[in-house]
Amino acid sequence: MSPKSSSAKKPAEQVVKDIRRATRRYFSAEDKIRIVLDGLRGEDSIAELCRKEGIAQSYIQDQRMSHVRGAPMHPQTQGKIERWHQTLKNRILLENYFLPGDLEAQIGTFVEHYNHRRYHESLGNVTPADAYFGRASAIIKQRERIKRQTIQHRRLQHRKLAA
């Protein structure tokens, strides 16, 4: 596995660990066995079981988040994700893909670039990964320090040339 692919999976792996931790906290062993058996019987999908048992809802509350539902293709309520889908679509439609693996690889490359390399103006020109892992404020402070030093240096250079 390349370093790029492992770094792209870290947030997802962390979310899975958080959900496992939340289910350990909120559900007894008997409840978990019942949930798994219901899933194996095929009576409900895993998503439906999670909804019934409130697993996602308890995780969302634990993280002090809220789940907002809105109309699809409605930019006023779904603007950020709709824009993300448009950006992805514009990128992957640049090429033809003859194998599903080629398309999956291109989507993976796009997601890695979008989350770890592309600066987002709405996040203070840091990457989403920097914001998610709490590095944004340190990065912004470092940039401000460098900017102050650069301005001081340029003023000094200007004064030397003017004298």
Domain boundaries, the chain: 9-67, 75-118
Global pTM value: 0.53
One-letter amino acid of 125: N
Task: Indicate the Cα dihedral angle 19, 22, 24, 27, nearest 10°.
Answer: -110
pLDDT tens-digit profile of 3-52?
Answer: 444 444 456 666 666 666 666 666 676 776 666 666 666 666 666 767 77
Is residue 110 a contact partner of residue 91, using CB atoms and an 8 Å limit?
yes
Stretch 114-119: mean pLDDT: 93
Q: How far apart are the first and last CA of the chain?
A: 59
Q: State both tokens at 24.
A: 């350990």
Confidence of residue 79 (pLDDT cuts 50, 70, 90): confident
Hey, CA dihedral for 122, 125, 128, 131, is it positive or negative? negative
Q: State both tokens at 36.
A: 């798994």
In the three-class reduction of DSSP (H, G, I as helix; E, B as strand; rest coil), residue 62 is classed as helix
- What pLDDT is attached to residue 22? 63
Q: State both tokens at 23.
A: 């289910």
